[in-house]
Amino acid sequence: MDFLQPSSFIIQSINIAVIIYVLRRFVFIPYLAHIDSEILKREELEAKTANATLVVEAANAEAKELLNIAKNDANEIRKTARELAKRETSLMLSKTNDEAAGIKKQALDEIASERLTLEKEMRSKILGVAISLNAKLFGDSKKNTELLEQFAKQI
């Protein structure tokens, strides 16, 4: 039972102390430092991720707001375009109606003028025929001519 001897026990204790010191100095402390630095990196990454998430959410909200503004502007432009089109249509319709009324009035005036011209021509032809018939029938055409001319003026 050699391993229970005090000198062997002391040597084994020193060996264990040296192994613990070496492990602690070159393995455990650097490993714990590395783990702490990785934890810090992970926390920084999580903070950046959270910040990036907030930035993305803010950008999405701003994009939605801009999209809504653009939609409202587009609707306003459409509404304005419709109103302008209606005004243009009514203006063109009004101009067209005015032109049509002018053309109709001009045509009616021309018809009335042609009618008067035709009436005058017909009167003069009828008067000429009546005077020539009267001259053939009665011989004295002066008195009858004056009478027929007065009658033609009355008509």
The answer to whether the beta carbons of residues 134 and 148 sit under 8 Å apart is: yes
Count of structural domains within the chain: 1
Quote the tokens at residue 137. Answer: 């029938």
Q: 94-144: per-residue pLDDT in tens?
A: 999 999 999 999 999 999 999 999 988 887 888 777 777 777 776 665 666
Query: Residue 85: pLDDT band by 50, 70, 90 thresholds?
Result: very high
Domain residues for the domain of 18 are: 2-154
Q: Which residue has the tokens 């926390």?
A: 43
Residue 41 is predicted with a pLDDT of: 96
Question: In Å, what is the CA distance from 11 to each residue of 1, 28, 135, 138, 143?
Answer: 16, 24, 178, 182, 179
Q: 26-84: per-residue pLDDT in tens?
A: 999 999 999 999 999 999 999 999 999 999 999 999 999 999 999 999 999 999 999 99
* pTM, to two decimals: 0.46
Contacts of 8 (CB under 8 A, 6+ apart): 2
Residue 81 is predicted with a pLDDT of: 95
Query: Residue 2: pLDDT band by 50, 70, 90 thresholds?
Result: low
Residue 134 is predicted with a pLDDT of: 72
Contacts of 123 (CB under 8 A, 6+ apart): 152, 155
Q: Which residue has the tokens 């040597």?
A: 11
